[in-house]
Amino acid sequence: MVITIHRGTHQIGGIATEIRSGNTRIIIDMGNELSLDPNFVPADLNIPGVTDGNGACNAVFFTHYHGDHVGQMIRIRDDVPLYAGALAKDVMLEVAKKRNDDALLEKFQKIQTFKDGKEIQIGDIRIMPYSIDHSACDSYTFLIEANGKRLLYTGDFRTHGFRGKALPKIWRKVGRVDALVTEGTTLSRSNAVPAMSERDLQQKVRQYLRDYKYVFVLCASTNLERICALSKAVPRGKYFLCDAYQKRLLDLLTHHWSEYSELYRNLKVVEYGDNIQKKIEARGGLMVVRANRKFEEIIKKFDSGKSIILYSMWSGYLTKPESKIPEFLKLTGQWEKLHTSGHASHEAIKELIEITKPDVVIPMHSEKPEVLKELCPDTKILLPDDGEEVSL
């Protein structure tokens, strides 16, 4: 088995990894690069046999629907099979429709879907997807087996979300592996303060709803588990509001996942409209918003002295020179940050390594992968460059 990280060995986002065994070749993720530089132009990811006709590729698998993992899917040759989770596919389709991007919509429609715990055979490579916790619903870890070798590819994950406690159980189910390719997003960050759990965040929202009549939460529309938690935090007699696009995404989540948890069913959701403005003013509640003119006009209709905006997204968006978010946050009398990471803490990564006992670990999706050597001095850590082959 040969592993080649085409992009992502020393950066966060824009990743793609190749797994090759015998005559079979698969790719995991094809994402757009991330940058806060307003002049940054994402580089096209060119992989022979994937984005051109120079070779062959048997399949491309996607861990989840975030743009830094799927953003360059459009560049994949039309004859290469694509695979993702069923909910992830439907979310991507909805995003393409909102953008009125027919080419992207057509590409997403070609995606074949897999299920948690249901093995897929591609040539002589076996892929077992496991549903995991991340800030994108329907995210997956892949256990990949070929030529007598076992590779665990984590994708983005965390243990402080609503489903985070299940991850150590998954790792134990996987057992010992020959190699581990793990995300290392937080390796470049201080780990002195543990990440807030999603449950703690939900509790804080309940307090804000006691302190303020109108609570507006600025968060990613596709952070569906958090939005479900916001809905469940709203007490009886108050409204949980969103627009039609957000409601369609929540309906997709309920359709696919309502059987798994109470968190995903019986959501308290009302689509905002001027026809209920007076009722909202009287009762108060919480609304999920995005930083655009439509929501700016809605927020202005409410008493700013009784309102607060909670910023529930990555703090980096606030510092982008062209960002409209700082001005948007001034629409109410107050605003505060209320967010938690979608990525594994240092402790979570160490626990993963301790359970799976890999012969070799390759960190990626990280600006400082070398930090893992300090965290796990007794583990063999490889730090390949983009495009460098690692043979098992």
Q: pTM for this one?
A: 0.95
Rounded Cα gap, residues 341 and 336, in angstroms: 16
Quote the pLDDT of residue 321: 77
175-196 pLDDT, tens digit each: 999 999 999 999 998 776 678 9
- 41 and 83 part of one domain: yes
Asked whether the predicted pLDDT for residue 35 surpasses 90, the reply is no
- 351 and 222 part of one domain: no
Position 42 confidence tier, pLDDT thresholds 50, 70, 90: confident
- 10 and 42 part of one domain: yes
- 7 and 134 part of one domain: yes
Region of 315 on the Ramachandran plot (φ > 0 left; ψ -120 to 50 alpha; else beta): alpha
- Mean local confidence (pLDDT), 155-181: 97
Q: For 335, phi and psi rounded to 5 degrees? A: -145, 150
- 100 and 142 part of one domain: yes
**CB–CB of 264/258 below 8 Å?**
yes
117-144 pLDDT, tens digit each: 999 999 999 999 999 999 999 999 999 9
Quote the pLDDT of residue 192: 61
Position 315 confidence tier, pLDDT thresholds 50, 70, 90: confident
Using the 3D structure, point to which of 296, 319, 337 is the last residue of a domain: 337
Quote the pLDDT of residue 41: 78
CA distance readout (Å), 174 to 23, 27, 137: 25, 21, 21
Look up the domain containing 383 and give its range: 2-190+342-391
Encode the chain in three state secondary structure.
CEEEEEECCCCCECCEEEEEECCEEEEECCCCECCCCCCCCCCCCCCCCCCCCCCCCCEEECCCCCHHHHCCHHHCCCCCCEEEEHHHHHHHHHHHHHHCCHHHHHHHHCCEEECCCCCEEECCEEEEEEEECCCCCCEEEEEEEECCEEEEECCCCCCCCCCHHHHHHHHHHHCCCCEEEEECHHHHCCCCCCCCCHHHHHHHHHHHHHHCCEEEEECCCCCHHHHHHHHHHCCCCCEEEECHHHHHHHHHHHHHHCCCCHHHCCCCCEECCHHHHHHHHHHCEEEEECCCHHHHHHHCCCCHHHEEEEECCCHHHHCCCCCCHHHHHHHCCEEEECCCCCCCCHHHHHHHHHHHCCCEEEEECCCCCCHHHHHCCCCCECCCCCCCEEEC
Residue 332: give its domain's CATH number: 3.40.50.10890
State the CB neighbour count (10 A cutoff) for residue 55.
10
CA distance readout (Å), 386 to 64, 201, 296, 313, 365: 21, 37, 43, 29, 11
- 119 and 178 part of one domain: yes
- 265 and 377 part of one domain: no
Quote the pLDDT of residue 72: 96
Using the 3D structure, point to which of 319, 337, 355 is the last residue of a domain: 337
74 burial via Cβ count (<10 Å: 0-12, 13-18, 19+): middle
- 153 and 115 part of one domain: yes
- 181 and 102 part of one domain: yes
- Mean local confidence (pLDDT), 54-76: 97
**CB–CB of 28/153 below 8 Å?**
yes
Position 272 confidence tier, pLDDT thresholds 50, 70, 90: very high
Cα–chain center distance at 13? 11
226-269 pLDDT, tens digit each: 999 999 999 999 999 999 999 999 999 999 999 999 999 999 89
- 297 and 369 part of one domain: no
Q: Which residues contact 194 (CB under 8 A, 6 or more apart)?
A: 160, 345, 347
**CB–CB of 226/312 below 8 Å?**
yes
Q: Domains in the chain: how many in total?
A: 2
**CB–CB of 130/117 below 8 Å?**
yes
- Percentage of residues in the chain with pLDDT exceeding 70? 99
Region of 242 on the Ramachandran plot (φ > 0 left; ψ -120 to 50 alpha; else beta): beta
- 56 and 169 part of one domain: yes
Rounded Cα gap, residues 213 and 76, in angstroms: 49
State the CB neighbour count (10 A cutoff) for residue 200.
12
Residue of 29, 111, 10 whose CA lies nearest to 367:
10
- 209 and 185 part of one domain: no
334-390 pLDDT, tens digit each: 999 999 999 999 999 999 999 999 999 999 999 999 999 999 999 999 999 999 999
Residue 61: give its domain's CATH number: 3.60.15.10
